[in-house]
Chain A
Amino acid sequence: MIENEIGSFVGRKAALVLDKKDNVAVALADLAAGDSCLVADDDGRKYEVSVTEKIPFGHKFALVGLEQDSAVYKYGEEIGRMKAAIEKGGWIHNHNMYCERGMK
């Protein structure tokens, strides 16, 4: 579990990818637009992603560009779909993601 490595990113602009299937990372620090963020994934890879907007602590950003209506994956599961296309590094939240369940 990548969650076990959280402590190694203290004080850094870092984010975690919780499952191989995921196309979002969870920010472990407040990120500003243009920040380069260290992303660590479940396969032990580490790479930099430049975020395109402000990402608060605990929020998510896209690891790849996503089309409108494409599925957003976190924990290896679909948590919603995009209302509109988004670029890599963009903030994904309830303003641009929808989920039918619990909202009918």
Chain B
Amino acid sequence: MGDKFLGYRRENGAVGVRNLIAIIPSVFCSAKVAQRISESVPGTVHFSHPVGCSQVGDDLDVTANTLIGIGRNPNFAGVVVVGLGCERFSPHELAEGIASTGKMLETVVIQDEGDSLKTIELGTRHARRMQQAASQEQRQETDVSELMIGLNCGGSDATSGLVANPALGIASDKLVAQGGSSILTELTELLGTEHILARRAVNEQVAQDILTVIHNMEERLTRQTQASSNAKRKHLISTGNYDGGLSSVVEKSLGGMKKSGNAQFVEVFKYGSAPTKKGLLLLEGPGHDGEATTGEVAAGAQIICFPTGRGTPSGFPGVPVIKITGNPRTYERMKENIDINAGRVITGERSLQEMGAEIYQEILSVASGKLSKAEVLGHDEQFCITRMP
């Protein structure tokens, strides 16, 4: 018997930690209508994005799969798809991708309704009805093996690799040991760790997959930086990372990978898709905080755990983001934005093991309904779909 949390069980058996209605535009042209629908019905969130048309191949495929994955995420009891009507990524394809979850689902299309005002009205009526139906759902005791957390660090400094990431790794290991799932990604910030991660693969195929996806990401970066004539544009790590004491991307990566603990990797999976196995997973995604967490939420993560040494307030629509800093000075400055002060390891108030246990307990509390600070303050900047070159 593992630990428990209180979650919302959906038609398809998946368990949400929030009970919201998602308003998802299939294309950027319908983003404002989606936003207006969401503004009319408290308890809904919207997913504005700049894509959905004039794309082809892998790039369009990743956009389509990611939007479908967001709609399928069990934190959402219902979805209103908002289309324009002539876009490359059809709103009906988006709805079909979500339909097998059995959740409440409606599609409104601006060119079918006549204009934006009529579409806002119809979408608002759908969202209102879904919200009232969702309000009758009750949280139920659920085994922790139903949880999937997404890992992402942003605004790293030297304390990230020293304290915050190792403590989160302890929490991640504890979840995985009980049958839950944890997703590591940010391949651009795993350069130099591939040989270590591959040794933690469950089998030879997964080891090879780890080496391949990190190699491919480095090749892509090399192409991009070689083509740039501006030396200032070639740095993979930020000014703040340098100021925080990180001198190279390899140093940052070696600290970054520690948030995945010591568990074995069971699968490497593509951006926009969902994993087929439970346990520690590697998502083939970039280092941009928002693109990384968007891929994790599209894969089914109900919670994001986000270490930040320098401090960032960003959040995700409809998905709690638990902020953890290893830097006691950052916590003092940004305590309105940061949930857990792992800097207490540096100030001698906690051991690393105690900090890991505290993060794990916070994950369970947030899964059962406690709001993260990013949610309370309405931060939702992290939804960004990655683009393929």
Contacts and interface: CB of A to CB of B under 8 A. Distances in A.
> Interface extent on B, as a size class?
35 or more
B interface SS class: helix
B202 to A, nearest CB: 23
Given A4-B353, A104-B226, A99 B249 contact: yes
Contacts, number: 114
A101 B251 CA distance: 11
Nearest to A97: B247
B351 A4 contact: yes
Nearest to B225: A104
A75 B195 CA distance: 14
A57 to B, nearest CB: 8
Nearest to A103: B234
B250 A94 contact: no
Contacts of B352: 1, 3-4, 6
B245 A97 contact: no
B80 interface: no
Most buried by A among B188, B248, B251, B309: B248
B45 interface: no
A60 to B, nearest CB: 7
Given A6-B348, A80-B247, A103-B235, A93 B242 contact: yes
Interface residues of A, number: 34
B292 interface: no
Contacts of B255: 75
Nearest to A93: B247
A3 B163 contact: yes
Interface string B246-277: 01111100110000000000000000000000
Contact of B247 (A8, A56, A99, A101): A99
A26 to B, nearest CB: 6
Interface in B335-366: 345-353
A79 B248 contact: yes
Nearest to A55: B245
A28 interface: yes
A46 B242 CA distance: 28
A16 B225 CA distance: 35
Contact of A94 (B196, B226, B247): B247
B134 interface: no
A88 B250 CA distance: 23
Interface stretch (B9-17, B31-39, B154-162): B154-162
A65 interface: no
A103 B254 CA distance: 16
Contacts of B251: 74-75, 79-80, 99
B117 interface: no
Most buried by B among A3, A16, A28: A3
B43 interface: no
A13 interface: no
Contacts of B242: 93-94
Given A58-B244, A94-B247, A97-B248, A10 B347 contact: yes
A86 to B, nearest CB: 13
Given A7-B350, A103-B234, A104-B222, A79 B250 contact: yes
A53 B219 CA distance: 38
Nearest to B235: A103
28 contacts: A1-B166, A3-B352, A6-B345, A6-B352, A7-B345, A7-B347, A8-B348, A9-B348, A10-B346, A10-B348, A16-B162, A28-B346, A59-B245, A60-B247, A75-B161, A75-B255, A77-B250, A77-B254, A79-B250, A80-B248, A97-B248, A101-B191, A101-B248, A101-B249, A102-B188, A102-B248, A103-B225, A104-B226
Interface of B: 157-159, 161-163, 166, 188, 191-192, 196, 218, 221-222, 225-226, 234-237, 242, 244-245, 247-251, 254-255, 309, 327, 329, 345-353
Given A6-B346, A10-B348, A97-B248, 4 more contacts: A4-B351, A4-B353, A9-B348, A101-B191
Interface of A: 1, 3-4, 6-10, 16, 18, 26, 28, 56-60, 72, 74-75, 77-80, 92-94, 97-99, 101-104
5 closest Cβ pairs, A-B complex: A58-B158, A102-B249, A7-B348, A99-B248, A58-B245
